[in-house]
A = this chain, B = another copy of it.
Amino acid sequence: MTFAYDFDHDHGVAPRTLAALLGGKGANLAEMTSVLALPVPPGFTISTDACRRYLSTGWPEGLEAEVAGHLARLEQAMGRRLGDAVDPLLVSVRSGAERSMPGMMDTVLNLGLNDASVEGLAEQTGDDRFAYDSYRRFLQLYAKVVLGVEGGVLEGPFEAAKADLGVEEDAAVPAERLRSVVGELQEVVAAATGRAFPQDPAEQLRNAIEAVFSSWQSPRARAYRDREAIPHDLGTAVNVQAMVFGNRDERSGTGVGFTRDPATGAREPYGDFLVNAQGEDVVAGIRSTLHLSAIAERFPEVHGDLLAIFARLERHFRDMCDVEFTIEQGRLFVLQTRVGKRTGRAAVRIAVEMAGEPEIALTHAEAVARVDPTHVEGVLHPQFDEDDVVVATRGLGASPGAAVGRLALSAEHAVELHAAGERVVLVREETSPEDVHGMLAADGILTRRGGLVSHAAVVARGWGKPAVVGAERLQIGGGRLRIGEDEIAEGDVLSIDGTSGVVVLGAVRLSAAHPPEDLATLLAWADEIRAGRLGVRANADNGPDATNARAMGAEGIGLCRTEHMFLAEDRLPIVRRMILASRPDEEKEALEALREAQRADFLAILEAMDGLPVTVRLLDPPLHEFLPDIGQLALKEAREGLTDEEVALYRAARDWREQNPMLGTRGVRLAVVKPGLYEMQVRALLDAVAARHRAGGQPLVEVMIPFTISRAELALARSWVEEALAEQPDTARGSVSIGTMIETPRAALRAGEIAEMADFFSFGTNDLTQMTLGFSRDDAEARMMATYLQHDLIPANPFETVDVDGVGELVRLAVQRGRATNPALKLGICGEHGGDPRSIAFFAAAGLDYVSCSPFRVPVARLAAAQAILSLDGRPARED
């Protein structure tokens, strides 16, 4: 078994492709050494195989001998020996996993120093201060990382020395004093560990390697991998590399550079460096760094080489690179490189520009694969423009973007403030349809209760308004908002970040939302890739939303929720008249009035989406959603009595109340127990279709029956639609298809029989998730989701990213069974998952024809859909 490889080992393939074996860092070190022949200090990489072996069954047999062999070759190459009392070799020991986990894992520098070799180092360099400072750094780092000694204790001796001497700069502590600091540190370590600091360099090395292996399992590393969806079983490689010293003298230095500007994407190198320092000093940010351009002045002899290396790396890796370099006494070394992290804005610009640069010439597919879809979301919304905000509390980031405005605790107050020209943040316990006018007036929405698919969240996302929900620490009352000890009054300013969930009492400066110009180009390339493979539609309920969705690139409407039309201020009284009707003629009159109103709604939507398909879902929610709150009426009855109308509404509200409305008399069930309702909606829709035809338009309507569980139900509902259709001219019939939502587990299981009655399926993955997992979305997200994620009981919030193992199996089953009985079946998804990149990848693999999401997520979905298609085709997918 081979566990370790020299940087110049001949792997037979380009080492950069071996990140799984060598880690990203090791692979690139090998690439720079053996392919690019750059000035890389020599060393070797212990593979991830070794780490996995270590983590499952302990230190691998034979590894110690292999390490000794590689070390011997390194000593020979360098002409120095580890621990040598005359001319010692020092090495760094760094982790390096397949996927970058910056700052998460451990590193040891200057390894090989002991009481003897420190003297050799002093002798060789003629610099006692340098040698003892290096030993001090090594002692501190090794004790902390390898021996687990608490960091604070280890700072003590050096800080005390500086205080004694009345100096602030590390470099101002003389060699003699450093010598005593080193002695004190050894005592601290011996006291903390019960053993003397190990003097044997081989023991130091083995322990350091073990420490790096173990750091893979540290809680912070695990948490990071959870967040980034990196598997826990990859393990890390370990790189052992000869040290070079940027802290040797004033002719030395160290820095980090980017081949382009990682903030803007501009095509000019960017970076920071420090004279007479080691890498950790740059990262620690204690000393002010210099801009890369200062190298031309300080180190004219290497400046040209460095820029040439940057250009070479960028051409070779065909991407913006992040480079660590050190100058030791005027000689340049490259310590590592990797593809650099960048902002969303930069990612888009770099991808598009590199496609146009002849020396790199990314293909469109490569450019599309380079940009993280969540970056697209980021550049479309304003963000907090300050790093250090005072976080009052955090909720769930429910609708992205940031908002600053005056506090309104009621919808009415929000409308008033808005009318007065103020920006408003509406804060409620939770929102209901009665708050909608206030939400419309607000710039941002904040609630104490509710989860990512609560009313507040769904409505806010639909409108692209920032929202934070489920911020449980809010206390609302007496015209004031309290969070712990802090408190503001209505009219005071607060800020929310709907991406991170952060709430700030007071104003925060916002960055403007200006999508980079290159975004349109990139999305057009994405559209080429997914054309005919995976469509992107939007969920929109009215004409303006539909227009906006089309502008965002939506290729139709995947979900038009007709209940939102019922909730409009002028409609609700009619809906209630229908519910309260005691005679058929009263009911019919109310249904007719609704039909008139709905026709106009449909007309606006069909006009906005002319020539593109519009999926209209017939009424879905249980009727009690259109009735006033029972508790409020009970209180009013107790306090002051009810009007006759309220008495009737109270009775109806009690009659239609449900224990579990999610599983109640909704969707097609409501249509079965309330005949005439769907017929009214279908007639309104067909009238609108006819009107569009008369106007020379091209309406394309998909009538969607919600909440079916059996063929019989859909057959019945289909017969209603077909009866209404039979009265229409042929043109209308050609514009209308009929299908159903698949949103109960039974519907998914019985998809074979249901497909016999359906022209299309649309997966309602919100409800399907609720029922498959038994999670009421509002309750689960407010009360248990955080704990469940923290305990690894679920891999991700299943309302954000589809639960592939559970809900996903039902989706796959339904696709297979539905297509088996009806090969022409059209398949889409209109749940919240339609805008989530990881979910989109799943839906593409499951064979759906399109995804549908909020208008504001359409650009994200277009990019994610293209990447999903690239991945399915085995072409370059996103690399990160």
Tell me how many residues of A have a C-beta within 8 Å of chain B: 54
Which of A659, A744, A792 counts the most B-chain CB atoms under 10 A from its CB? A659
B-contact 0/1 string along A309-348, CB 8 Å cutoff: 0000000000000000000000000000000000000000
A767 to B773, CA, bound (A): 12
Smallest beta-carbon distance A64→chain B, Å? 35
A639 to B635, CA, bound (A): 9
Smallest beta-carbon distance A226→chain B, Å? 13
CB-based nearest B residue for A657? B779
Any B CB within 8 A of the CB of A774 = yes
CB-CB < 8 A to A713: which residues of B?
A: 793
- Assess the B635–A779 pair: CB atoms within 8 A: no
CB-based nearest B residue for A790? B672
B-contact 0/1 string along A771-793, CB 8 Å cutoff: 11111101110011001100111
Any B CB within 8 A of the CB of A631 = yes
Any B CB within 8 A of the CB of A419 = no
CB-CB < 8 A to A774: which residues of B?
A: 662-663, 707, 709, 743-746, 767, 771
Segment at the B interface, from A171-179, A264-272, A384-392, A804-812: A804-812
CB-based nearest B residue for A630? B631
- Copies of chain A in the complex: 2
Subset of 28 A-B contacts with CB under 8 Å: A631-B634, A634-B634, A634-B635, A635-B635, A638-B639, A658-B776, A658-B779, A660-B663, A661-B776, A661-B779, A663-B771, A663-B776, A663-B780, A664-B779, A664-B783, A665-B783, A665-B784, A672-B791, A709-B806, A712-B792, A716-B791, A744-B773, A744-B774, A745-B745, A745-B810, A746-B774, A771-B771, A771-B772
CB-CB < 8 A to A771: which residues of B?
A: 663, 745, 771-772, 774
A634 to B638, CA, bound (A): 10
Any B CB within 8 A of the CB of A838 = no
B-contact 0/1 string along A375-402, CB 8 Å cutoff: 0000000000000000000000000000
B-contact 0/1 string along A639-680, CB 8 Å cutoff: 100000000000000000011111111000100110000000
A771 to B635, CA, bound (A): 34
Any B CB within 8 A of the CB of A770 = yes
CB-CB < 8 A to A526: which residues of B?
A: none
Majority secondary structure, A binding face:
helix
Which of A707, A746, A792 counts the most B-chain CB atoms under 10 A from its CB? A746
CB-CB < 8 A to A659: which residues of B?
A: 661-662, 776, 778-779
B-contact 0/1 string along A790-823, CB 8 Å cutoff: 0111100000000101110110000000000000
CB-CB < 8 A to A775: which residues of B?
A: 663
B-contact 0/1 string along A736-779, CB 8 Å cutoff: 00000001111001100000000000000001001111111011
Any B CB within 8 A of the CB of A710 = yes
CB-based nearest B residue for A635? B638
CB-based nearest B residue for A746? B806
CB-based nearest B residue for A788? B672
- Assess the B773–A672 pair: CB atoms within 8 A: no
B-contact 0/1 string along A600-619, CB 8 Å cutoff: 00000000000000000000
A787 to B712, CA, bound (A): 13
Smallest beta-carbon distance A731→chain B, Å? 33
A-B contact sample (7 more), CB < 8 A, given A713-B793, A744-B772: A631-B631, A659-B776, A669-B784, A672-B788, A673-B783, A673-B787, A709-B774
CB-based nearest B residue for A712? B793
CB-based nearest B residue for A637? B635
B-contact 0/1 string along A675-711, CB 8 Å cutoff: 0000000000000000000000000000000010110
- Assess the B793–A716 pair: CB atoms within 8 A: yes
